[in-house]
Chains A and B, each alone.
Chain A
């Protein structure tokens, strides 16, 4: 079983709809991250959380919100989706120790029409 899972894997929605992307992990790590990937722009950090009560904005948090429901679950919401939020979204987890390797989920491809 995968250590970091994301649901859904693909989603097509319309402008103005509210969308929630979910991430779960079995690695037992405290730190969880949401990134968005766009061609030629690499990965950009949206939000991150170091424990259930800790939420931090990344570099592109506008238009997004998150919820850390439990140590193992971190969800990303688009309150009112717009076409330029069409992208590949990745969840990642890390322990924060040693070399601080981040483990990534398989990604969610979101299309906003």
Chain B
């Protein structure tokens, strides 16, 4: 199967860390991605991880990949109000590199 699941909402206080989770069912992923959608805008690639990696860090962002559990997470350190957006995880499969499989999206709300 090609399901990618995310929780719909996450609310955090400014300055705290945010952790957005994603589970997927197909173990043949090659790349996994996190996209950010700000209000009224399209999606922008935030970060990605290759399937042979367990972790990737990029400034305030940390991506963790647990292949055994088919679980991907995005941690945002020191969350700011500008991080409020919808975050989508997505995967590309080794046997079908034609298209991305997107998760349902998690709306992150940051309050002061």
A interface residue numbers (CB < 8 A to B): 4, 33, 35, 40-45, 48, 50, 56, 58, 90, 92, 96, 99-107
Contacts and interface: CB of A to CB of B under 8 A. Distances in A.
Given A33-B99, A42-B105, A100 B92 contact: yes
B42 A100 contact: no
Contacts of A92: 42-43
A4 B88 contact: no
Contacts of A43: 43, 88, 102
Contacts of B92: 100
Interface of B: 4, 6, 8, 31, 33, 40-45, 48, 50, 88, 92, 97-100, 102-105
A33 B90 CA distance: 15
Contacts of A103: 45
A67 to B, nearest CB: 19
A100 B34 CA distance: 13
Contact of A100 (B4, B43, B97, B105): B97
17 contacts: A33-B99, A41-B104, A42-B6, A42-B88, A42-B103, A42-B105, A44-B102, A48-B98, A58-B99, A90-B42, A99-B33, A99-B50, A100-B92, A101-B48, A102-B43, A104-B42, A104-B44
A107 B42 contact: yes
Contacts of A106: 40-42
A4 B98 contact: no
A45 B97 CA distance: 14
B102 A42 contact: yes
Given A56-B98, A99-B31, A104 B43 contact: yes
Contacts of B45: 101-103
